[in-house]
Amino acid sequence: MSTTTSRVFVARLAGIGVFDPLGDRVGRVHDVVVLLRVRQAPRAVGLVVEVPGKRRIFLPLSRVTAIDPGAVITNGLLNLRRFQRRAAETLVMGQLLDRVVSLRDGHGKVAIQDVGLEQQRNRDWLVTKLFVRDSSGRSVFSRGQSQMLDVDQVTGLAPSAEQQGAAALLATMDDLKPADLADVLHDLPQRRRNEVAAALPDGRLADVLEELGDEDRVAILSTLAAQRAAHVLDEMQPDDAADLIAELPTQQASELLELMEPDEAEDVRRLLIYDDDTAGGLMTTEPIILSPESSVATALAHARRQDVTPALAAMIFVVRPPQETPTGRLLGVVHLQRMLREPPHEAIGGLLDKDVEAVDPHAPIGRITRLLATYNLTALPVVDAERRLLGAVSVDDVLDQLLPDHWREADDEVTDAALGGQNV
């Protein structure tokens, strides 16, 4: 492999663009895969590259023709099969950073902050350098708290029972959207995934759990102390929290519901009585709900809230008091696009769309799907016999239900085939 750089550091490599021979960008570097070997330096075997569609694929280093500052150049041959880590492989960003290892001279322990790769004459890439910091709170170096070491100056690179911090890995995830962070957690080994989940703030973890498949999120929630698990459930959208609780053993589910905030637990209990593929099972009990006297400015401020999904932000539900579900009588909805054409002081009661068809909580998913598609809507109101608003079903909730169980890790071809068999 002809390279401009014979030594690279993984923390600087992560995130840079990957290009084909014509200069077209094909993705970005997500991680580096190494093999940890007994009595030999670890060998880097490939890159995990994120390509369009958030798919992560494996790019062997043998197919990399150049590594320049800010760019990785390939020979154009890409296998688009989704990357699956093998047991013998270790992810540098996901597993090695922040790992605590011992100095071979017996003078203490250090935590890995970066990993240096160097190309050999036989064109193999080996881990030759480690940038480390003191992990004990006292200096183990004569020149400060950080130092560059040769890889053979430490022991314990291979996983051990000792707890590894997740700070370095979390630092690389600050700008990730919840769905992308969920993908990262799914790809991590179970132990490392649990460490990262434990280090996330409650709200951030709640957002991530909403994006994970049932198996992963049940596994993560079950590792948390009951009180913290309840706090995380409080932060989740009620429909997602209900879906998660429904997957738990009965005793654990009951305990968590008792520990949750009473109002949040009540919303979840109301959702649990409905089947998964009905409007009641799919709806959220917390859409944007306002009175007809509210101004356009107030409605737009609610639509800008970070905790409101784009699908729900496109529609304001206007009701008589009370405004907590189940509300007073549903008067109609106001569309975001309509509000953008009106003065801020205008009352939304004069902008109502009264023709949007509401569904009852037992309406099947097929009916919901047809209504959303027929009228080009992103959400539908769910009402009871007295036309009191119970919640709203959004298009993203419907898609989650229609897609196969493991759609997040499935290839596009598999997902397409599964959707082709749906009867909606």
Query: Residue 357 carries which DSSP code?
Result: P
Say whether both 338 and 389 belong to one domain. yes
Using the predicted structure, report yes or no on whether residue 281 has a pLDDT greater than 50: yes
Q: DSSP string covering 169-228, please? A: HHHTTTT--HHHHHHHHHHS-HHHHHHHHHHS-HHHHHHHHHHS-HHHHHHHHHHS-HHH
In a domain, residue 327? The reply is yes
Give the pLDDT confidence score for residue 153 in this predicted structure.
92
pLDDT for 5 beyond 80: no
Which SS3 state, helix, strand or coil, does residue 363 take? coil
pLDDT at 420 > cutoff 60: no
In a domain, 183, yes or no: yes
In single-letter form, the type of residue at position 79 comes to N
* 43 and 59 share one domain: yes
Select the more confidently predicted residue: 157 or 176: 157
List the CATH number of the domain containing 265.
1.25.60.10
Q: Is the preceding peptide bond at 310 cis, omega within 30 degrees of 0? A: no
Q: Which whole number is the average pLDDT over 18-41? A: 89
**Is residue 283 assigned to a domain?**
no
**Residue 269 shares a structural domain with residue 360:** no
pLDDT for 139: 43
User: How does residue 122 score in pLDDT terms, banded at 50, 70 and 90?
Assistant: confident
For residue 3, name the pLDDT band (cuts at 50, 70, 90). very low
Cα 243 to Cα 284: distance, rounded to the nearest angstrom: 11
Say yes or no: 207 and 299 in one domain.
Answer: no
pLDDT tens digits, 252-264: 999 999 999 999 9
Give residue 416's pLDDT: 52
Backbone angles phi, psi at 256, to 5 degrees: -70, -40
User: Is 406 part of any domain?
Assistant: no
Range of the domain at 252: 173-273
CA-based R_g, the chain, Å: 26
Indicate the pLDDT class of residue 146, thresholds 50, 70 and 90: low
Q: Which of 97-111, 144-158, 376-390 is modeled with the greatest confidence?
A: 376-390
Same domain assignment for residues 84 and 106 = no
Domain count, the chain: 4
Instruction: Give the tokens for residue 196.
Output: 């990262």
Q: Are residues 85 and 98 in the same domain?
A: no
Whether residue 414 is contained in a domain is answered as no
Residue 345 has pLDDT above 50, yes or no: yes
| Final residue in a domain of this structure, among 91, 107, 132 | 91
**Could you tell me whether strands 289-290 and 315-319 are parallel, antiparallel, or unpaired per DSSP bridges?**
parallel
Same domain, 106 and 63: no
CATH of the domain at 31: 2.30.30.240
> What pLDDT sits at residue 166?
64
Q: What pLDDT, on the 0 to 100 scale, is given for residue 410?
A: 52
Tell me the HSE value of 307 on the side-chain side, using a 13 A CA sphere: 13
Q: Tokens 């109002």 identify what position?
A: 263
390 and 326 co-located in one domain: yes
pLDDT confidence of residue 414: 45
The answer to whether 238 touches 212, Cβ cutoff 8 Å, is: no
List pLDDT tens digits, range 368-408: 999 999 999 999 999 999 999 999 999 988 988 887 665 55
**286 close to 309: Cβ distance less than 8 angstroms:** no
CB-based contacts of 115: which residues, under 8 Å, 6+ apart?
A: 9, 10, 11, 32, 34, 92, 96, 97, 127, 129, 130, 131
User: If you average pLDDT over every residue of the chain, what do you get?
Assistant: 87
pLDDT of residue 156: 84
Q: How do 109-119 and 146-150 pair as beta strands?
A: unpaired
Q: According to the model, what pLDDT value does residue 310 have?
A: 92
CATH code of the domain covering residue 297: 3.10.580.10
- Asked if the model's pLDDT at residue 422 lies above 50, the reply is no
**Distance (Å, rounded) from C-alpha 420 to C-alpha 361?**
26
pLDDT at residue 175 in the model: 64
Please tell me whether residues 149 and 216 are part of one structural domain.
no
Half-sphere exposure of 76 (CA within 13 A, CB side): 4
Q: Is residue 411 part of a domain?
A: no
Q: Which amino acid would we find at residue 170?
A: L
Select from 273, 305, 334 the last residue of a domain: 273
Q: Which two tokens stand for residue 410?
A: 């499935």
Rounded to whole angstroms, the Cα distance separating 35 from 100 reads 18
CA distance 245 to 265: 11
Same domain for 250 and 225, yes or no, is: yes
Contact 233, 264 (CB under 8 A): yes
If pLDDT is split at 50, 70 and 90, which confidence band does 172 have?
low
359 and 267 in a common domain: no
Co-location of 334 and 302 in the same domain = yes
Do the domain assignments include residue 371? yes
Q: Residue 75: inside a domain, yes or no?
A: yes
